[in-house]
Structure 1
Amino acid sequence: MSFSNHPLWLVGFRPFFTLACLSGLSLPVLWALIFSGILAPPATPFSPAQWHAHEMFFGFGWAVLGGFLLTATRNWVKIRGYHGQALMLLVSAWLLERAGMWCAGILPPLVFRLFSNLFLAMIVLMLLWTLIRHHQDDSFPDNTFFLIVLPLFLVAKNLLLSEDHFQVGAAMTLGLFRVVFLVMLERTVTQFMKNAVQADILRSAPLDRAIKLLALLLVFVGLLPTQIAPWLALLLALLLSGRFVFWKPQLAMRRLDIGIMYLGYLAIVAQLLLQFIEQLVTPGWLGSLSMHVFTFGAMGLIIPAMLIRIANGHTGRKVIFDRLDKAVLWIMIAGFVIRIILPQFDPAGYLRWIGLAAACWFTCFAVLSWRYVPYLLQPRVDGKPDA
């Protein structure tokens, strides 16, 4: 068997969820060591905070998002997804970007730009080509939102690394991930509730469309008039809250594997409310709190559960969350409390809370790596092809 035919390269979630686990356990710990002064920051022309934000969104976040979309798009349009050498090329570009981000200060600017944009440009073009070429077979009409947001990630990425536009880039990046999470939650929660508890949740096409359009508009929050932006965030938070009531949370919260998706949903609402308050009072007043409510609450809670589901289901195993899987989710809930809530009561212990929160991420993704990376490296247990 040639290396390109190894099970790792048969479908997109396999290599990229492996990278997501490894970056999820290492990047927060690296940041905690840098933030505390134990480790010297990378040699870059931009600030350590920019490096941290970029790596969590475009390193860890896009490893997850890339693996998810490369796998999901083949199901949406009923074709075989990218595999073999195409995936090997994407993974090489992702690794090259990580090296480039750490050594940006010693690379010629042109080489750095190539290293830092190659992976995202390649995967965005590949995903767009799949969705556009096979749009007539697409089972989800609202995939139009992906046609819009995917190219915008390239804009946000470069703004994030700009000294003068970091805040605009960070807000835009968060907004783009918010759109993706809202589209994903609509589809997955509807299916999970129907399959797990035989419950139908509210799906109103006008309401769902209004939510996604508002979320798309808020991608440009850094460019919107200050008199309008906070009220749009409040409106989206209210629409999401209203829909949440009719998504039967009283049933979902009885099961941790589904309830954690609802907690992630509420974290998106909380982030929007904090964004509203901050923009209405004094921009920058809350520091990075709003950003971390999203990264720890939406990304940190939803992603581990998603990795567990896909790593089991797409390798031919039953999607059952056992005690260790549930323990991983509780660890991430504890990480959210430690990073977001406890510093509000003990700001003097801020460094300690950052270290403990990073330890939660390390423990969570170390366990996921130990349990599920072997699944990703092996053929499906049911004998069915990945193609």
Structure 2
Amino acid sequence: MVFPGELEMLVRYHHLWELKEELQTAELDEELFSELLCHGIRRDPEGSACRVLLDGKRKLSLDTRSGKRRRTALHTAALKGATGAASLLLEARATVDVLDGDCRTPLMLAAHCGSESCISLLLTRQAQVDRQDAEGRTALHWSSQQLPCLHQLLEARADVSALDLDQRSALFFAQGPGESADCAKALVEAQAEVNAADRCGQTPLFKALQARDDAKVALLLFHGAEVNQKDEFHQTPLFFAAASNQLPQCRQLLDAKAYLSHDVAGRSPVSVAKGQGHTELEKFLCMHGRKSRQQIAAKASAKAPGPAGKRPIRRTGQQTTGQQVKPGCKEVLASTLRGQPEPERKRYDLVFCDEKGIELDMDSTEYQEHLAELLKKVGWADAWSHTNVESTLGG
């Protein structure tokens, strides 16, 4: 009688002649046979032990899953890049798209480990390119940081717009740290959507900033990444750049017309940089904000004044005829008394509408122009600094 442990030792130590003799009398169940195949593939990726096992027990299934991850021998071969063993298993009629415990196929594992030869082999056996695992990810997601494998899957017409359960595309995963921008470039050139947002409202640009990668940020901005995209907390990419003290990335975002907006907690990129102790970045953002307000004020003063498109200041909580104060409208400091030496500062809602009576978004250029002109009229245009805004908003 042959014990399973003895067969495992023969496979591990590559005693193939003894293994061949023992297999003639050994009685194996399919799970033990699968485990022996996996041991043989790990020991010899070329498949010598695998060949002996297949010759000795051809009638046993090759799709039996074993181990903690419930993987088959073909999964192990794909994960180890064992093309020789994988070829033997496929010739012995192993299922090419067999699933492991995470609903992943051998193609996904080969893409993850960067085995070009295994991917070529599996694709020639008609492996499904866009099959999704338990997390909704395809082989393209798993190859998003393996450039040669990525090219193989794109040539096989893998869907670049496929999203996982978190609504993330392969381009999102291509922004990971430590990788070049070549993978992201290949996906963008394959028409991947650069502004596809996940469940949290974040786009690949957010991920690139978290990775602190200038090349990836520049690539996404060049291809039209939205710099004022807001996540679930109303934070834009500029918040992430400010939090991690990325001055070059902040320059890139501001050059692309990023706004110094506020999140749901009333914080701005300036207050975030200040809170993290990034003094140089804080000064840079303040200077940019001051320059932008001066440009807006100059542009507004050059325009002919007109009644259309403007409404007066109204206090928070009060109502005007036929109108209700918009919930969540940002509150700022302003003075209604012109010319007083030390006017009392109070809290107000600033509401401006277009010619059709529709309220303007406070981050829009038109809103900022109305604000600058109003402040100039009440004599506070010069005193309207970013510091005043931050102290009002609790930044």
TM range (shorter): under 0.3
TM-score by length of 2: 0.20
Q: Whose RCO is larger (CA < 8 A, sep 6+)?
A: 1
Rg comparison, structure with higher value? 2
- The structure where helix makes up a greater share of residues is 1
